[in-house]
Amino acid sequence: MKTVIATDKAPKAIGPYSQAVKINGVIYTSGQIPINPVNGEVLNGDIYAQTKLVMENLKFVLKEAGCTWQNVVKTTCFLDDMGNFTAFNEVYGSYFTSEPPARSCVAVKTLPKNVLVEVEAIAICE
């Protein structure tokens, strides 16, 4: 049975999608971008600040689903510029201090709302 995961501690979905979906103990999150969940505004910071907000938003979605970073088995990361990879990786790595998940990281032409970074995750939480 599919369960929709939603929390007000992360940005509300701005389209026809859910923050996350849980089915058979697997959590699939939608991509998180650096939107402040309180005021709905995009953070106009550098890659460090935007990545931190993305990871915090993702953390709250995972928490609502009953998961932690340790439950994450795969992430997909989108950057607006691979020139930001080292800085992104520094912040991202601080959230996965042991046994990091598998990951894909790609540069894309444009991200929603012209942000610098977006991250989605798959986690296993029974």
The predicted-structure confidence for 76-105, as pLDDT tens digits, reads as follows 999 999 999 999 999 999 999 999 999 999
Selection from 66, 51, 62 nearest residue 122 by Cα: 62
pLDDT digits (tens, 9 = 90+) for 8-65: 999 998 889 999 999 999 999 999 999 999 999 999 999 999 999 999 999 999 999 9
Neighbours of 53 (CB within 10 A): 23
> What is the tens place of the pLDDT at every residue in 7-19?
999 999 888 999 9
Active site amino acids: 105
> Which domains can be identified in the chain, with CATH numbers?
2-124 (3.30.1330.40)
Proportion of the chain above pLDDT 70, given as a percent? 100
Model pLDDT, residue 47: 98
User: What's the one-letter identity of residue 113?
Assistant: K
Q: Which amino acid is at 95?
A: Y
